[in-house]
């Protein structure tokens, strides 16, 4: 096979593997919208599984091309022109199939298909079965966009799809009030932290002249304050998505979602997507010592916090979530200190292990009996010294992170109520839109 | 797409915005309503193809006069908003010689139509009468923005006023986004969402003064399609359940899953969901705003984030929760068609924005627009 052929194959395969899952979701959605009856579970699942399988096969093909299995590797940058080009402003339609992207793409495609297959049985006859698979397709496309984006605008599109999917999955069992509240909290954290991503993206465009990932290599020539600002803004977004301190409060609440999606999002891909962003912006990180230090401090602090909380958590999924968070914190520190290859290996191995653990979590008690694990006697597990007791209490209450963030946001709600009251008065004064219910 | 095709695209979008409320209306559509809709379409098209500002805004004024005359009869619109917006349209038509007055009149016209603060009390009257009427009114924004981009934005004064309008628009977007967090009924929420987009439109009009016309048009199209669609869904919910309070969880998704999905999709498009026109509009607008005012850009980012949270919270309260006892049905077939077509258009512009944006820049150059 010639080099040109590989380029052409890659050029066609990349958009197909990214867009096929969401196209399958749209197809199921249209079937539901167009007909008066719902399609069968089997039809919906087949459509999604075929799309995810093709996506995985194409991802593997791209990985083989990139590693030179078929001869000389094609160019990693695949340029489709511009999504929009207006004078100096350009939204580039560029994909990047370099080794980092290919590894993460393969990981995402494999785990998504695995979870889809697992969920076919797990979610059988569950209310919201179709919703589950439609959202899964959207998530798969989001994850592939993150993995293979060659421009920050495209990366952000995938990033947002993952965030929306995560929030909707957390609130999946919405007949109870708690999952809905948790979903809102997670979504609010994502969106507020994503403000950092948007600002960083616009800044990067202004100072580097482009939003392509490769253009970030030029950040080494930027003044220190510019690279530091952009790096810190990106880091803010990563802290939200990867539940780093002080935004870790939403993670245990996210366990309200179905177990397969907990596995996929918080064991496999979503938490690690923040770390993948760190890998993508590594030129900016290496250009700014401040970002390196802040990233390492945040990562290590989160790891210590999560390790303590995991030991006091009374439920299996909560403990698992904090165990995952501990490793995610360590990986963040690795990337901040420049160990990017190690971090990618760590991400891959960790994601595979955690997905397996999450999927096994509902069987934890059964497994414990089978293996012969016995609970530690209460008197042995009690903290002894004053310091131990304090750490134990702090870990048990998860440092009251949610309360602290709520108290920071309280003035905003006070302002909102005051503004609304003023607005009502104005409207009543002019006779428009009287709020009879308020 | 060629530059010559731009007016046709705009006309098609405006026509869709004018006809969609008629199609989804649950009330019987009388002959008067059909005639009014046809005349509104004719006047909109005439405005789009006019070659002078006087005629373009004049046609919009005639359209608004017509709505005012038949307000409360053939349409669900109340009289006062029609009268006020007509006055601004007339002022925009006859102040072409005085750029300052022309800009103020045109911006006030668009603020009134889009429900931006502080003109939102007029939009509140419309929304209080019928959210569907607001959806219809928003479609006129496309025509008015197109006239603004051709005849007002290329002036020197618009160039000078760009930064001020951007800052003003950003603040006008932030205030309703904050108040959206504490709304206690669906119409109040819809009013805030529309007002936030109205603020975005004002900021985009400012940026258009420096040549960012594509941002302005994409923001308007998103406003018309996403907010028009959301208005139709608000109307659909109220047709079935009466006035909706945002206090406890409504649990309506069990009885009307398609309506819930459509509501969520339109609300998400409005706050920049990837793959829809809203995402491109937000992206383009932020870059445009950054050039005029960094603070304005930051405020807009925060406003969009707050509105997204408020939208999900409102969705949760309206639709999620334990199953509600209700005999109300899901979306009817005509409503479903409108949802599919409107959302399809949002997706089409979201994945292929060049279809609209690229020829627009070329087209506007013929009207003396500042090159970007």
Distances (CA, A) of A163 to A60, B186, B353: 26, 25, 23
Check CB contact under 8 Å for B321 and A175: yes
Q: What is the total count of domains within chain B?
A: 1
pLDDT of residue A1: 47
| DSSP three-state, residue A335 | helix
Cα(A268)–Cα(A116) distance, integer angstroms = 13
Check CB contact under 8 Å for A87 and B361: yes
Minimal CA–CA distance to B297: which of A291, A205, A280? Answer: A205
pLDDT-based confidence at residue A135 (cuts at 50, 70, 90): very high
Crossing angle of the two packed helices A152-170 and A177-208, in degrees rounded to 10: 170
User: Is there a single domain that holds both residue A239 and residue A252?
Assistant: yes
A258: in domain: yes
For B181-234, how does the pLDDT look when each residue is reduced to its tens digit (9 = 90+)? 999 989 889 999 999 999 999 999 998 888 788 888 889 988 888 988 898 898
- Evaluate the CA torsion angle B21, B27, B32, B35 in order and state its sign: positive
pLDDT of residue A81: 87
User: Is there a single domain that holds both residue A113 and residue A184?
Assistant: no
Burial class (CB in 10 A: 0-12, 13-18, 19+), A124: exposed
Lowest mean per-residue pLDDT among A65-79, A412-426, B86-100: A65-79
**Chain A residue with the nearest C-alpha to that of B195:** A423
Q: Distance from B341 to chain A by nearest Cα, in Å?
A: 11
Burial class (CB in 10 A: 0-12, 13-18, 19+), A355: buried
**Nearest-CB residue to B286 (from A82, A198, A415):** A198
Identify whether B134 is preceded by a cis peptide bond (ω within 30 of 0): no
Cα(A41)–Cα(A194) distance, integer angstroms = 35
B192: in domain: yes
Phi, psi of A77 (to 5 degrees): -90, 120
Cα(A66)–Cα(A73) distance, integer angstroms = 5
Q: Distance from A189 to chain B by nearest Cα, in Å?
A: 9
pLDDT of residue A432: 55
B49: in domain: yes
User: Is there a single domain that holds both residue A143 and residue A157?
Assistant: no
- Residue A305 structural domain: 152-362+389-396
Q: Distance from A402 to chain B by nearest Cα, in Å?
A: 17
Query: Which of A111, A132, A150 is the C-terminal boundary of a domain?
Result: A150
First to last CA, chain A: 70
Contacts of B320 in chain A (CB under 8 A): 171, 174, 180
**Chain A residue with the nearest C-alpha to that of B245:** A437
Contacts of B179 in chain A (CB under 8 A): 416, 419-420, 423
User: Is there a single domain that holds both residue A268 and residue A278?
Assistant: yes
User: Is there a single domain that holds both residue A119 and residue A159?
Assistant: no
Cα(A367)–Cα(A372) distance, integer angstroms = 8
Interface of B with A in 210-239 (CB under 8 A): 211-212, 214
User: Is there a single domain that holds both residue A115 and residue A165?
Assistant: no
A346: in domain: yes
Question: How many CB atoms are located within 10 Å of the residue B54 CB?
Answer: 15
User: Is there a single domain that holds both residue A52 and residue A174?
Assistant: no
Cα(B126)–Cα(B68) distance, integer angstroms = 12
User: Is there a single domain that holds both residue A200 and residue A301?
Assistant: yes
Is pLDDT of A438 > 50? no
Q: Is A8 left (phi over 0), alpha (psi -120 to 50) or beta?
A: alpha
**At a CB cut-off of 8 Å and minimum separation 6, what does B225 contact?**
B13, B17, B269, B277, B342, B345, B346, B349
A410: in domain: no
A414: in domain: no
A226: in domain: yes
Mean pLDDT, chain A, integer: 89
Q: Distance from B370 to chain A by nearest Cα, in Å?
A: 11
User: Is there a single domain that holds both residue A261 and residue A343?
Assistant: yes
User: Is there a single domain that holds both residue A15 and residue A123?
Assistant: yes
Answer yes or no: are the C-beta atoms of B275 and B350 closer than 8 Å. yes
Check CB contact under 8 Å for B185 and A438: yes
Mean of pLDDT values over B159-175: 91
Percent of chain B with pLDDT over 70: 95
Q: Which helix (H) or strand (E) holds A420?
A: helix A401-429
pLDDT of residue B74: 62
Answer yes or no: are the C-beta atoms of B200 and B150 closer than 8 Å. no
**Chain A residue with the nearest C-alpha to that of B190:** A433
Check CB contact under 8 Å for A416 and B179: yes
Q: Distance from A420 to chain B by nearest Cα, in Å?
A: 5
Contacts of B122 in chain A (CB under 8 A): 430, 432
Cα atoms in the 13 Å half-sphere on the side-chain side of A147: 33
- Residue B46 structural domain: 3-365
**Nearest-CB residue to B273 (from A33, A164, A198):** A164
Q: What is the total count of domains within chain A?
A: 2
User: Is there a single domain that holds both residue A287 and residue A314?
Assistant: yes
Mean of pLDDT values over B285-302: 88
Query: Which of A131, A150, A169 is the C-terminal boundary of a domain?
Result: A150
Cα(A88)–Cα(A218) distance, integer angstroms = 18
Cα(A359)–Cα(A270) distance, integer angstroms = 16
pLDDT-based confidence at residue B82 (cuts at 50, 70, 90): confident
B371: in domain: no
Is pLDDT of A84 > 80? yes
Check CB contact under 8 Å for B274 and A86: no
Answer yes or no: are the C-beta atoms of B157 and B42 closer than 8 Å. no
User: Is there a single domain that holds both residue A201 and residue A297?
Assistant: yes
| DSSP three-state, residue A172 | coil
pLDDT of residue A3: 52
B372: in domain: no
Minimal CA–CA distance to B148: which of B200, B224, B204? Answer: B204
Q: Which residue has the higher pLDDT, A26 or A316?
A: A26
CA angle in degrees (0–180, nearest 5) for A14-A16-A18:
70
Check CB contact under 8 Å for B178 and A199: no
Q: Which helix (H) or strand (E) holds A43?
A: helix A41-66
**Nearest-CB residue to A195 (from B124, B125, B302):** B302
Check CB contact under 8 Å for B251 and A183: no
Check CB contact under 8 Å for A412 and B279: no
**Nearest-CB residue to A33 (from B175, B251, B336):** B336
Phi, psi of A382 (to 5 degrees): -70, 140
Answer yes or no: are the C-beta atoms of A252 and A322 closer than 8 Å. yes
Inter-chain CB pairs, A–B, below 8 Å: 165
Check CB contact under 8 Å for A87 and B371: yes
Q: Chain A interface, mutation test: which of B182, B255, B307, most A Cβ atoms within 10 Å? A: B182
Phi, psi of B245 (to 5 degrees): -95, 145
Q: Which residue has the higher pLDDT, A432 or A25?
A: A25
Cα(A243)–Cα(B55) distance, integer angstroms = 56
Crossing angle of the two packed helices B31-49 and B6-24, in degrees rounded to 10: 160
Cα atoms in the 13 Å half-sphere on the side-chain side of B327: 0
**Chain A residue with the nearest C-alpha to that of B175:** A419
**Nearest-CB residue to A157 (from B181, B275, B320):** B275
CB-based contact, B323 to chain A, within 8 Å: yes
Q: Distance from B213 to chain A by nearest Cα, in Å?
A: 10
Contacts of B353 in chain A (CB under 8 A): 83-84, 91
Check CB contact under 8 Å for A423 and B179: yes
B370: in domain: no
pLDDT of residue A436: 46
**At a CB cut-off of 8 Å and minimum separation 6, what does B89 contact?**
B57, B58, B60, B61, B64, B105, B109, B144
A384: in domain: no
């Amino acid at each position: 096979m010639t080099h040109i052929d590989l380029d052409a194959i890659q050029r066609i395969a990349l958009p197909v593997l990214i867009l096929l899952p969401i196209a399958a979701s749209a197809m199921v959605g249209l079937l539901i919208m167009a007909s008066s009856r719902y399609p069968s579970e089997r039809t919906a699942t087949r459509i999604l599984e075929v799309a995810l399988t093709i996506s995985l096969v194409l991802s593997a093909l791209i990985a083989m091309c990139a590693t030179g299995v078929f001869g000389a590797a094609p160019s990693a940058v695949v340029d489709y022109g511009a999504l929009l080009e207006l004078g100096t402003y350009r939204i580039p339609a560029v994909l990047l199939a370099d080794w980092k992207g290919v590894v993460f793409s393969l990981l995402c495609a494999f785990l998504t298909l695995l979870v889809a297959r697992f969920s076919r049985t797990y979610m059988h006859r569950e209310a919201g079965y179709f919703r589950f698979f439609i959202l899964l397709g959207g998530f798969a496309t989001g994850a592939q966009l993150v993995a293979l984006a060659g421009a920050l605008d495209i990366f952000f599109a995938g990033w947002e799809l993952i965030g929306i999917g995560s929030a909707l999955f957390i609130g999946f069992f919405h007949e109870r009030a708690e999952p809905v509240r948790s979903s809102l909290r997670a979504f609010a954290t994502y969106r507020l932290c994503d403000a950092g991503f948007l600002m960083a993206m616009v800044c990067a465009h202004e100072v580097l002249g482009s939003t392509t990932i490769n253009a970030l290599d030029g950040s080494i020539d930027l003044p220190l304050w510019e690279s530091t600002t952009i790096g810190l803004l990106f880091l803010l977004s990563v802290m939200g998505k990867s539940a780093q301190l002080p935004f870790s409060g939403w993670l245990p609440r996210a366990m309200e979602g179905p177990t397969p999606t907990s596995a996929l999002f918080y064991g496999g891909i979503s938490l690690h997507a923040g770390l993948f962003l760190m890998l993508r912006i590594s030129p900016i990180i290496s250009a700014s010592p401040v970002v390196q230090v802040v990233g390492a401090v945040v990562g290590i602090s989160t790891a210590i916090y999560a390790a303590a909380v995991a030991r006091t958590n009374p439920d299996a999924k909560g403990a698992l979530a904090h165990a995952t968070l501990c490793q995610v914190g360590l990986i963040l520190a690795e990337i901040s200190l420049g160990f990017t290859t190690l971090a990618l290996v760590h991400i891959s191995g960790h994601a595979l292990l955690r997905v397996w653990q999450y999927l096994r979590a509902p069987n934890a008690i059964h497994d414990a009996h089978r293996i012969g694990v016995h609970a530690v006697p209460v008197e042995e597990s009690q903290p002894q010294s004053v310091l131990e007791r304090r750490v134990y209490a702090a870990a048990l209450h998860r440092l009251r992170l949610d309360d602290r963030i709520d108290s920071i946001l309280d003035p905003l709600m006070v302002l909102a109520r005051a503004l609304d009251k003023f607005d009502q008065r104005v409207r009543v004064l002019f006779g428009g839109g009287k709020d009879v219910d308020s | 797409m060629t530059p010559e095709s731009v007016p046709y695209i705009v006309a098609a979008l405006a026509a869709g915005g004018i006809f969609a409320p008629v199609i989804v209306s649950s009330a019987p559509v009388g002959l008067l309503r059909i005639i009014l809709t046809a005349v509104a379409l004719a006047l909109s098209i005439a405005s789009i193809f006019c070659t002078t500002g006087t005629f373009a805004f004049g046609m919009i004024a005639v359209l608004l006069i017509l709505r005012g005359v038949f307000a409360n009869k053939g349409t669900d619109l109340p009289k006062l908003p029609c009268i006020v917006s007509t006055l601004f349209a007339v002022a925009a038509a006859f102040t072409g010689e005085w750029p300052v007055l022309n800009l103020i009149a045109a911006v006030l016209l668009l603020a009134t139509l889009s429900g931006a603060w502080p003109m939102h009390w007029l939009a509140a009257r419309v929304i209080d009468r019928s959210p569907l009427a607001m959806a219809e009114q928003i479609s006129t924004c496309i025509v008015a923005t197109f006239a603004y981009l051709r005849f007002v934005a290329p002036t020197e004064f618009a160039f000078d006023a760009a930064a001020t309008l951007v800052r003003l628009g950003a603040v006008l977007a932030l205030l309703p986004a904050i108040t959206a967090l504490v709304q206690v009924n669906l119409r109040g929420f819809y009013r805030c969402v529309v007002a936030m987009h109205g603020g975005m439109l004002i900021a985009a009009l400012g940026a258009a003064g420096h040549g960012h016309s594509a941002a302005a048009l994409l923001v308007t199209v998103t406003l018309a399609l996403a907010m028009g669609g959301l208005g139709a869904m608000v109307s659909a919910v109220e047709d079935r359940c009466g006035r909706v309070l945002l206090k406890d969880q409504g649990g309506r998704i069990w009885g009307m899953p398609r309506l819930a999905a459509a509501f969520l999709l339109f609300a998400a498009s409005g706050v920049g969901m990837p793959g829809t026109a809203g995402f491109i509009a937000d992206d383009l607008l932020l870059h445009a705003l950054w050039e005029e005012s960094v603070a304005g850009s930051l405020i807009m980012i925060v406003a969009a984030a707050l509105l997204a949270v408020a939208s999900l919270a409102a969705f949760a309260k309206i639709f999620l929760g334990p199953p509600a006892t209700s005999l109300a049905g899901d979306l009817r077939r005509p409503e479903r068609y409108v949802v599919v077509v409107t959302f399809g258009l949002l997706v089409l512009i979201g994945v292929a924005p060049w279809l609209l944006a690229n020829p627009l820049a070329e087209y506007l150059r013929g009207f003396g627009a500042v090159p970007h």
